[in-house]
Amino acid sequence: MPGAFLPLMETSGLIVPLGDWILRQAASDLRRWQGAGLESGRVAVNISPVQLRRRAFADHLLDLVGEWRNENVGIDIEITEGVLIDDVSSAVSQLRVLRRSGIRVAIDDFGTGYSSLSRLAELPVDMLKIDRSFISGLTSSGAGRTVAETIIALGRAFDMTTVAEGVETPEQFEMLEHLGCDQSQGYLHSRPLAAVDIEPLLKSGAVMAFHKNQLGKPALTQVALRG
């Protein structure tokens, strides 16, 4: 499982070449879909703290994915709250370079770390992803709903997109829509799919954004809730 696999990759140093391969593969898939005339949207790739802390990581990432991206098609990256807490100045400078180049930045599993609200307002971040632990208790726990509602309000206040992780039931989806969440992802929309299985969905005109985890496999779909 990722909880065992990823720490091993990080401690061994293999997370760096693995991360490079994932970024190249994500960009290659997007270019292929775009060349075939498919509405491919954007692909989000998890970035390890080890990768982000490398010198000139931003320039290296841009070299890997190339200059073909545009406003609607391209690579997004997902980072953890811990990256910004542990080494905020270095991480922020890297993220600013990426955002100026059209790469969007998301904080993954938001709500499980210790972000400072005053710092959050200054960070070069586009999306807050609400951790699935809060979504799982959304309809049965007052605490889960309160946390989700608070994060959605934060996103709105800081002009960030909010994304609910791990949405599995229509009831959760309806609650998130009521609370004003922007997007959701989870088994309610789709199980994890290989790239070859995503292409028929793109050909059908489905408007989706796909996420690749650290294993390089597309994970859950994202679907807009509003607008």
Mean pLDDT of the chain: 81
CB atoms within 10 A of CB 135: 27
Do 211 and 218 touch, CB atoms closer than 8 A? yes
pLDDT at 225: 43
pTM summary value: 0.83
Joined tokens for residue 168: 């599995």
pLDDT at site 72? 73
Q: What is the pLDDT of residue 113?
A: 65
CB count, 10 Å around CB of 138?
Answer: 24
Split at pLDDT 50, 70, 90, the class of 214 is: very low
- The CATH number that domain 2-224 falls under is 3.20.20.450
pLDDT more than 90, % of the chain = 30
Q: Is pLDDT larger for residue 62 or for residue 214? A: 62
In the chain, DSSP assigns E strands to: 42-46, 74-80, 104-110, 127-130, 161-164, 183-185, 209-212, 218-224
